[in-house]
Amino acid sequence: MAAVVGRLPKYSLLRVANGSYYQQASLSTFRDLSLGRKLIYTAATVLTGGAAGLVYALNQAVKAEGLELHPPQYPWSHNGILSSLDHQSIRRGYEVYKNVCAACHSMQYMAYRHLINASHTEAEAKAEAEEIQVLDGPNERGEMFMRPGKLSDRFPNPYPNEEAARYANNGAFPPDLTLIVLARHGGEDYVFSLLTGYCDPPAGVEMREGLHYNPYFPGSAIGMAQALYNEVIEYSDGTPATASQLAKDVCTFLKWAGELEFDERKRLFIKVVFVMSVLIPISWYYKRHVWSSLKTRKFAFKRVTRK
């Protein structure tokens, strides 16, 4: 036995037997298939894709939302990356809300203090707040009393509760307008189109009593009558009060009401871009400096010959 071991080469004792070393992977590819299988697989793929496309097309065709008129995208002045809201338009939009919309719609999350430095001065905001009467109390006699409004008071609700609102509007509940632009698909484009989109119903369409035709509203039948007309109010700054101008201004006001931090967010973006334009090159250079010793090192292997 010792003689047999002695005849074996030295490298044969150090060789690792690994069966996978001698095996070859046998993978089946489309190229290796027969012509018949290729035709079957190709036809199945085409039929499956065609069936999926047909189902999708039919599904989109029968959707009821396809009958709705989607609002166009208007060129609002505040849509730019570095563009702020038009604060003169915000002031005029507040006048539209106060004289037209406030008769039915509330803005329960808006306080008169929010108007300061946005559309009014502090004195003007105080004067606006003092025009309303707020139920307060109790006083020293335990009685509730009415007082003039303060800057901390919120915009008044036209109805004491939801039931009264529905009773006054034929069962429809006027939504709160504070976040209406954010709550509707299309934002201010939808609100503007809705306010200016009233028209006569097409032939064959009859509207129920108390409903009005508006193609931008889901179902095209809306309980709110057209509220904005030419010269329905007079702007304090003398701007012509056309229906489209009224709608544009109140939409800008509602956009601001839903995002009080709109301009501040744009200013913060400019500051972040300026700071990061300085920090990013410095960080990149520091990273290159720290890791340069690891990324540039080399390993050299030298063959050692035994004598």
Instruction: Give the model confidence (pLDDT) of 9-19 as tens digits.
Output: 444 444 444 44
1 is in an annotated binding site: no
The pLDDT score that the predictor gives to residue 61 is 64
Q: Identify whether the C-beta of residue 256 lies closer than 8 Å to the C-beta of residue 265.
A: no
pLDDT tens for the chain, 307 residues long, are 444 444 544 444 444 444 444 344 444 566 777 888 888 888 999 999 999 998 888 876 666 555 678 999 999 999 998 899 999 999 999 999 999 999 999 999 999 999 999 999 999 999 999 999 999 988 888 889 999 999 999 999 999 999 999 999 988 899 999 999 999 999 999 999 999 999 999 998 888 888 999 999 998 999 999 999 999 999 999 999 999 999 999 999 999 999 999 999 999 999 999 999 999 999 999 999 999 988 888 888 888 887 6
Q: At what angle do helices 188-196 and 243-258 cross, to 10 degrees?
A: 150
d(CA 17, CA 119): 85
Strand locations in 102-245 (E):
133-136, 145-148, 212-213, 221-222
CATH number of 70-110+173-287: 1.10.760.10
144 is in an annotated binding site: no
101 is in an annotated binding site: yes
Angle 205-60-73 from CA coordinates, rounded to 5°:
75
Instruction: Give the model confidence (pLDDT) of 211-238 as tens digits.
Output: 999 999 998 999 999 999 999 999 999 9
251 is in an annotated binding site: no
Helix runs in 140-261, H state only = 162-168, 180-183, 188-196, 243-258
d(CA 209, CA 61): 31
Q: At what angle do helices 87-99 and 243-258 cross, to 10 degrees?
A: 100
Instruction: Give the model confidence (pLDDT) of 20-47 as tens digits.
Output: 443 444 445 667 778 888 888 889 999 9
